[in-house]
Structure 1
């Protein structure tokens, strides 16, 4: 399993945004109101994922990986990578959706009063989805093992 490629995530954002825009054009009239609180839950998940990334990074840097009390189990790191990958993909899809909604709402703000009211909530939701993608990529980065040092790395230059 390799690292998540940013171009793949970008492709997911674009495909979802295009499909989402077409869907929003057909069904926007039945949407519930989009408030500022609509996407805030994504920000909570992003903060949790980023916080876990800092924790894992500190444990790996300090060499506290392995079995034993107070150590981070290697399977916990592997599960963290899985959570990071899933969060990055889900965040990308949700980001594409909210970008589609924003793209639909922005040109209609002067014509539709409800579009003007929904735009700030959709923008906040898109920003929170972007934060989730960034946090997931950070967690994935934090789960990398430290680089192997050459055997004489501690020796003084001679």
Structure 2
């Protein structure tokens, strides 16, 4: 398994921004206002993953985490969370692309911009925390060789 690549997250975010923009264009007139902290759950997830990263990193480096399956599950969680964060960042960015140009003429759009900004910031925080958690799952041997899988250490 390879570590999450920025291009994969970027592609997910761009597609989600297009979908978000299209959905806002279709349904904004019939929507209620966006709750101020609609993206708050993403911030809570980010905080959990940030704390989890420190715990996992400490346990790996002190040798207290001996089961590889635990680390594998944490890596899967981190990869899924970074994708979720990228998708939600794209959706919030699509919402902003819809709302900002209309904010001069629509009071509702003007009032929804802060909610979309908070959602985007929370989604970006989730991406960052998930990448941190994934980074923390590296063993000390992984850190010695960087991200390149083509280098082998000689064994005597």
Tell me how far apart the structure 2 counterparts of residues 61 and 31 of structure 1 sit (CA, whole Å): 50
Q: Which position in structure 2 is the counterpart of 1:4?
A: 4
- Which residue of 2 is the match for residue 105 of structure 1? 99
**2:72 maps to what in 1?**
78
Question: SS of the counterpart of 2:129?
Answer: helix
Partner of 2:111: 117
**TM-score under structure 2 normalisation?**
0.87
Query: For residues 4-153 of structure 1, what are the structure 2 equivalents within 5 Å?
Result: 4-66=4-66, 73-147=67-141
CA-CA distance at 1:15 after TM superposition: 1.0
Give 1:95 shift.
0.8
User: Is the contact between residue 35 and residue 120 of structure 1 (CA under 8 Å) also seen in structure 2?
Assistant: no
Please state whether the residue corresponding to 2:101 is helix, strand or coil.
helix
Question: Quick one: distance in 2 between partners of 1:43 and 1:32?
Answer: 23
Q: Give the superposed CA RMSD.
A: 1.6
In structure 2, runs of 5+ residues without a counterpart are: 145-152
Of the two, which has the highest radius of gyration? 1
Quick check: which one's helix share is greater? 2
Give structure 1 stretches of 5+ with no counterpart. 67-72, 152-158
Aligned partners of 2:117, 2:3: CA distance in 1, in Å?
A: 29
Count of residues in correspondence between the two structures: 145
Cα offset, 1:35, TM superposition? 2.6
TM-score w.r.t. the length of structure 1 is 0.86
* Equivalent residue number for residue 149 of structure 2: none
**Secondary structure in structure 1 of the residue aligned to 2:32:** coil
Note the alpha carbon deviations across 1:76-127, whole angstroms, 9 max, x for none: 1110001001001111111110100011111111100000110000100011
Shift of 1:48: 0.3
